[in-house]
């Protein structure tokens, strides 16, 4: 049976870089956020999402205006939970189908930004956490997303504290220097490759 290895990390930790590196080794990697975005853009799901918002959240070309949605749900836990109630089951179903395509692999990586926050870690055999000192994460996120410090800090506050994530993880990768990070990942992959 294929083992599910969760890969997670807070904003600016570098988990996407790590996911790409693992994928380059020929290991199947499922990027939950990317798949969620694709699913949300399907007509069936975008129509359901529009129904929970009183304001128009579609762009001129009919796709979801993600910035507008983010701004609304950021200040409305109720709308966020309604949005999640539509998107999460669809991603779960999509993942099951994807997993079926990779059932010959000894293990797969499932990259999820909010793995612990959604309880997704409970369906993983092991969890890899990518972390970095908060200041480095803030600088990376500001540069990557072209946003101010306050925006990044708000997003960090919405995520589980690092100490809690560390205590719930099987492997913790401190991503400060990329070369060392890749060496750590290679060691973890060797451990995971053992039956």
Sequence ranges of the binding site for ATP? 12-17
DSSP assignment, residue 6?
A: E
Distance CA 77, CA 50 (A): 17
Tokens read off for 120: 């997704």
Angstrom distance (rounded) from CA 133 to CA 18: 16
Binding residues: 12-17
CB 11 within 8 A of CB 156: yes
Residue linked to tokens 């929970």: 52
The 8-class DSSP code of residue 124 comes to -
């Amino acid at each position: 049976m294929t083992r599910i290895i969760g890969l997670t990390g807070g904003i600016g930790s570098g988990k996407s870089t790590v996911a790409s590196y693992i994928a380059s080794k020929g290991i199947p990697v499922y990027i939950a956020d990317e798949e969620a975005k694709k699913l949300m853009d399907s007509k069936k799901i975008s129509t359901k999402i529009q129904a929970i918002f009183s304001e128009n959240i579609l762009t001129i070309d009919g796709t979801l205006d993600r910035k507008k949605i983010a701004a609304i749900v950021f200040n409305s836990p109720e709308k966020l939970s309604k949005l999640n109630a539509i998107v999460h089951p669809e991603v779960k179903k999509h993942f099951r189908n994807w997993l079926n395509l990779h059932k010959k692999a000894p293990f797969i990586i499932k990259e999820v930004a909010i793995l612990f926050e959604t309880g997704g870690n409970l369906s993983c055999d092991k969890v890899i956490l990518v972390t970095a000192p908060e200041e480095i994460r803030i600088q990376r996120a500001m540069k990557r997303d072209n946003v101010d410090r306050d925006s990044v800090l708000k997003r960090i506050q919405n995520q589980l504290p690092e100490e809690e994530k560390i205590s719930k993880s099987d492997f913790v990768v401190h991503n400060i220097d990329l070369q060392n990070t890749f060496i750590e990942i290679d060691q973890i992959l060797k451990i995971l490759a053992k039956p």
